[in-house]
Structure 1
Amino acid sequence: MLAEPLPNPGLDAAVPGVVILGGAHGTLALARGLAVMGVPVTLVSNDTPLPGWSRHVSRKFSWPGPDAPDASSHLLDLAAKHGLAGALLIAGGDAEVQMVSRSLDALSAVYRVFLPAWEQLQWVCEKPLLYCRAAELGLAVPLTYAFASVEEAERGEMHFPVVLKPNMGGGDSTLARAKVVRADDRATFLAAFEVAAREIGAENVVVQQLIPGGGKAQFSYAALWNNGEPVAEFTARRLRQYPVEFGYTSTFVQVVEQPEAIAASRRLLSSVSHHGLVEIEFKHDVRDGALKLLDVNPRPWSWFGLAGAAGLDLGAMLWATANGVDTGVGTAQIGTAWMYLARDLVSAVQLMARGELSPRDYVGSFRAVKAWATFVPNDPLPSVLDLPLTAWRVLTRRVLKERTGA
């Protein structure tokens, strides 16, 4: 079953606005783009307040969050109390995607939703299922190890270095906060695996051989799909990221041509009849020449603002599609870049110290930047507050919890 963008009984055909659940930099970029078109944007979040500082967000509401037992009921009540019935509901974070997709029938009775039902979407959101589907479709993935317990992990044969990831994004576990943990030897691996297994269960820990290379080897497919077909799509290269080996976040992303990523993404998304926004991450493995599938994000991603800057505004196209308007055919301008300045500077300094980036090339990369993670001239507050907010989140979510053992 797919959530069709059709008007609800008793409502006008036009969508009355957009409700975005959670998210950070991607949500901010989406909200700005929609507001410029005159679309009312409502933010509902229990996490970072960053998008809510934008003057382009007309209303803000807090809620118990996507993991609350009554999450969908809260959204239904919100629509009834604040006139949001018929609005386009967009999940901005991983946990929000799962909640909305699982509650699709109930939420679609009030909101318009562009996501497949969880029975379909879980095949790209849950990494073990994702890699099974990729194997069925003949898509390359990193060498992955499956351990059902700490004891199995202790006995397992592996080729180091490896990385540990949660089976899905979202959550507040140590591994979820880190996103990726690297282990160069068995002792480091077992220590990280034991913590992760205790917090989220061994079966929910994905262990993979690390593909060598930094951001230059990593590519993304970005698109809007409607009822199992691509509406608009382009590919980009993560030239720099933080940390430099495997990115917690992108810091410098540039539009490039990558037909292999497009072909693989189409095959994967068609298999689940995808519906909505999506970003798919790949990494080129120099050892065998294969482009290997890493992750799928069916939500606005951190560098979402690059799409509009490159001339292929996926947010505007989503809005048009929800209103039954033909979006036409467009292409993203090759070479257009997006930068997260504060973190990119840290990444660049590290790469310079390793001899992998010259100061001249770093300065030259600014010429391609047409979109920034937080800064736009007519909406400066998010960029002013982003750095102290990031520092506070690192302190409260990582440093203090590690010290207290929370």
Structure 2
Amino acid sequence: MKSAFAVDPAVPGLIVKIGNYPLHHGGVGAIRSLGRLGVPMYAVTEDRHTPAAASRYLRGRFVWPTTGLEPAERLVEGLCRIGRRIGRPTVLIPTDEEAAVLIAEHAAELDGLFLFPRTDDPGLSRHLASKQGLHELCVRHGVPTPLAAFPDSPEEVEKFAADARFPVVAKNREAFERRRTPAVPGTTRIDDAEELLALARGWGPRPGVILQEYLPREEAEDWIVHAYFGAAGTEPVLFTGVKVRSWPPHAGMTACAYVVDNPELAAMARRFCAAIGFRGIADLDWRYDRRDGRYKLLDFNPRMGAQFRLFESEAGIDVVRAQHLDLTGREIPRAGQPEGRRFVVENIDLPALLAYRRSGYTTPHAPARAGATELAWLAADDLRPFFTMLARFVRPGARHLMQMYRSRRRTAMRREHP
């Protein structure tokens, strides 16, 4: 079906990623989204056999394995080398915080080779990607967020443990810590002071964690806001939806979600991003706390979210298309979001579905039936990424999923039957 708008086919797009995570459906979605409109698409890939590298819409791949631990100067040099090889100004589409921060903080070196949104504060993306930085911004601008503490020593952990109301949640303070040896493996629930102090013994003299108020899943709902913010004074492209399942359950990436119109949440996100002067694509995770009736901001990813293809306006606009249109000087058509659209990540939604059925958890705002479904991997016009994903995922991926699930089940059973 021909779109109602025209992109500039002379301006390519480049998927930029730092680190080793070859099974990234968001990158595949972005390649398809712009590639279907005739935009030449390029991607940084871990090797020659990733799902992104297999897409029929990919014009060229740049095999560049990185860890996220390289000096910024080396990463900028490598990115500029890719830009010179493409040979014309290219829209950058980062898929992780490291790439988004690198682009924002080294805009001067990348200018001329690439097109990307610019903010007045080049450190804003790093601040938003940090759990502590985001918390500070929320407090400063009056945006609800869970109560949190940021202990800087074992003594501060002990003081927190003596006064805290348990359970609490521990997370790594900085997004970049997952590339190193993280203090905690992810979002970790801690039920009492004894458990906290036992964990803290492995955190060293400077704990890199945030200790956050626990929002009970039976009293909460997970909501998503995806948006593109262009130049000051322009109307943002903004979508809202509800997360039905995630993997790991209740604390991981989206496995299944629906578009649900939420004007209150959209207004909150719009005001916050305007107040901090954010420009570009944003992926925000909110949790609605039924106990006090407030939406609380948990995460702000200053880049495209992996599930961005959940959202497409009635004019065919998603956030990646909006950015390309804006950066190439073209008008972004305005239209509403179709209610009930569903997004499913095939390789993680089946284990998530089984886990959620066992828990009995449901999301009241989820529609009873999907108006349309977009799959993360399978597409009739681009089959190879799906089969490449299967080849890389089935054995090690399934084993890893089951290990995660069994570990969480054992933890839950210990809590229920101490």
State the TM-score, normalized to the length of structure 1.
0.84
Whether the aligned pair in 1 keeps the contact of 2:100 and 2:125 (CA below 8 Å) is no
Confirm or deny that 1:56 pairs with 2:57: yes
Report what 1:313 is aligned to. Answer: 318
Report what 1:6 is aligned to. Answer: none
Report what 2:380 is aligned to. Answer: 377
Q: Which moved more, 1:33-42 or 1:254-263?
A: 254-263
Superposition deviation, residue 393 in structure 1:
6.2
Confirm or deny that 1:184 pairs with 2:179: no
Q: Which amino acid aligns with 2:377?
A: T
Measured in 2, the distance between the counterparts of 1:18 and 1:215 equals: 42
Whether the aligned pair in 2 keeps the contact of 1:220 and 1:261 (CA below 8 Å) is no
Report what 1:303 is aligned to. Answer: 307
Q: Which amino acid aligns with 2:164?
A: M
Report what 1:104 is aligned to. Answer: 107
- Identity among equivalent pairs (%): 21
Q: Which amino acid aligns with 1:160?
A: F
Measured in 1, the distance between the counterparts of 2:184 and 2:56 equals: 29
Measured in 2, the distance between the counterparts of 1:185 and 1:147 equals: 17
| 2:287 match: secondary structure | strand
Whether the aligned pair in 2 keeps the contact of 1:15 and 1:87 (CA below 8 Å) is no
| 2:123 match: secondary structure | helix
Confirm or deny that 1:113 pairs with 2:100: no
Superposition deviation, residue 164 in structure 1:
1.6
Report what 1:38 is aligned to. Answer: 38
Q: Which amino acid aligns with 2:52?
A: P
Measured in 2, the distance between the counterparts of 1:369 and 1:112 equals: 33
Superposition deviation, residue 235 in structure 1:
0.4
Q: Which moved more, 1:269-278 or 1:13-22?
A: 13-22
| 1:19 counterpart (14, 19, 38) | 14
Q: How many aligned positions are there?
A: 380
| 1:264 counterpart (265, 268, 282) | 268
Q: Which amino acid aligns with 2:189?
A: R
Superposition deviation, residue 396 in structure 1:
8.7
Measured in 1, the distance between the counterparts of 2:210 and 2:36 equals: 41
Query: Over aligned residue pairs, what C-alpha RMSD do you find?
Result: 3.1
Whether the aligned pair in 1 keeps the contact of 2:243 and 2:258 (CA below 8 Å) is yes
Report what 2:357 is aligned to. Answer: 352
Confirm or deny that 1:172 pairs with 2:179: yes
| 1:162 counterpart (168, 189, 200) | 168
Runs of at least 4 residues off by over 6 Å = 393-399
Report what 1:129 is aligned to. Answer: 133
Measured in 2, the distance between the counterparts of 1:183 and 1:31 equals: 40
- 1:279-300, Cα deviation, whole Å (9 max, x unpaired): 1111011222211110111212
Measured in 1, the distance between the counterparts of 2:94 and 2:214 equals: 30
Confirm or deny that 1:341 pairs with 2:346: yes
Q: What 5-or-longer segments of structure 2 have no aligned partner?
A: 1-7, 404-418
Report what 1:328 is aligned to. Answer: 333
| 1:38 match: secondary structure | coil
Superposition deviation, residue 356 in structure 1:
3.6
Whether the aligned pair in 2 keeps the contact of 1:64 and 1:71 (CA below 8 Å) is no
Q: What 5-or-longer segments of structure 1 have no aligned partner?
A: 1-12, 400-406
